[in-house]
Amino acid sequence: MKIISWNIRGLGSKNKRRVIKEILVNKGADIVILQETKKVEVDRKLVSSIWGARYKNWTSIPSTGRTARAGGILIMWNTKFVFVIESVVGDFTISIKIRAVMGRIGGFREFMDLTMSENGQIFGKKELVSLGYLALGGV
């Protein structure tokens, strides 16, 4: 599974969104975490301009302040390979619990909890779960 995390310092420029989209498509990301979006609202049109709209879903925290000049987190995922089981959006963090379809290793499926904070830290907990047995794993 490929996870890209990037402090993009704003999504206002069409040229910047085009460059970001080229990079995300070329890298074949499954989950994309963008920090400092400086966007009050994220919609399908914006997601499409960044990564394409087909097989994509997202959750976000809006930027803060009167002029929306700071903050904002956007987590996007490819729904063909990643299922978000649960998401929790706080004031300064987003947590998602995922199931990755492509993470099979000898009958195992990958489960992961990811938390992204506005200061750029990613916290993760990873488990390997068999189709009938619990296997121990960790990060």
Q: Quickly tell me which residue has 């040229």 as its tokens.
A: 15
Question: What burial class does residue 14 get, using C-beta atoms within 10 Å of its C-beta: 0-12 exposed, 13-18 middle, 19+ buried?
Answer: exposed
Give the annotated binding-site residues: 7, 36
Annotated binding residues for Mg(2+), written as ranges, equal: 7, 36
Contact of 119 with 91, CB cutoff 8 Å: no
Q: At what angle do helices 44-51 and 14-27 cross, to 10 degrees?
A: 60
Cα 41–122–8 angle (5° rounding)? 45
